[in-house]
Amino acid sequence: MQTETLKNYIDYFRTWADDDADVRFFVFGGVEKGLEFARGYEGFDYPFVWLEQPTILTDDNDMANLNEMSVSGISVLCLAEQDNLESQIDAYDKALRILCRIQKKMNQDTRQGDIIADLSKMKKAIIQLWLDSHCG
C-alpha cells in the first residue's frame, strides 16, 4: 500500500480495527510485541489484529517520481481450545471473515482513490500461530 508516511500506514489499519465491531485489540510491531501483549497486557482481548512492520519497496514510475510501497503482513488471531477441532475451525473462520473485511475496505478505498493498494497477489494462510491456542 502506498502512503505518505509510516504513521499514515499504521493509522489506516488502526482506524479500521477500531471501527470493526469484532476486533478487540490492535498492535503494530514485531512478533515479540504481539507475544508480549497476548501474554499479559491489561485490556488485551481476542480477536486480535497484529500489523507487522512493513518492508518499503521503491517503485520508479518513469515520470521523475519514486513511489514508496509498504508491504507487510496482517494477522487476525482468535483464541480456540487446543483439543477442540470445531473450536479451532470456528476461530479460523472468524479470523478469515475479519481479514476479508479489511481486504474489501482496501479494495473500495483503492477504487475511490483514497489509497493506492495492489491486492491482486494478497495471500492468506490459515494456521495455528505462535504458542498456546492462537488461531487465525
Q: What is the pLDDT of residue 106?
A: 93
pLDDT in tens, the chain (136 residues): 887 788 999 999 999 999 999 999 999 987 666 666 666 677 788 898 989 998 888 877 777 777 788 888 898 888 888 888 898 889 999 999 999 999 999 999 999 988 888 888 788 877 765 555 555 5
CA angle 36/37/43 to nearest 5° reads 150
Tell me the domain boundaries of the chain.
Answer: 6-135
- Looking at residue 64, its amino acid is A
Residue 62, C-alpha cell as written in the block: 518513469
- The whole-model pTM stands at 0.84
Give the Cα separation of 94 and 88 in Å (integer). 10
